Amino acid sequence: MDGCGMINVYNLRKLVHRWTKPNIGCLKMNVDGAWQPGSSEGGIGIVVCNEDGAGRSVIGGAKGSFGDGFTHIRRTANSVARRIARFAFHIGTSLTWFEETPDFISDTLFEDCNL
């Protein structure tokens, strides 16, 4: 077994990727996109949260053409931005919320804040 080893699959843990709060006094911006396979059209969702996890601003971008340059983060760690991106893709216009959380993400934002 030169260069090979055995892995005990019973001792492997499944990694759970969750959203984490920013440091006190900082803001954290999470971004996600949704697109139609086979096309360059998509929607974008952005949420900016403080150290309490409260959404300070939420932006849902309209369909548009997006290029490369995004970093992949698992959906389980970016669920609020994911929901906004999907919403933006289906409405076809840009919306912005400041201070007040839109109803369609309040449950997900609450879940992220209470980890």
Total-model pTM: 0.45
The set of residues, in sequence order, having a beta carbon less than 8 Å from that of 73 and lying 6+ positions away, is 17, 30, 32
pLDDT at 80 over 70: yes
φ, ψ for residue 69 (rounded to 5)? 120, 20
Q: Which residue stretches of the chain are H helix?
A: 79-91, 103-113
Q: Average pLDDT, whole number, for the chain?
A: 68
Q: Are 76 and 20 in contact (CB under 8 A)?
A: no
Count of residues making up the chain: 115
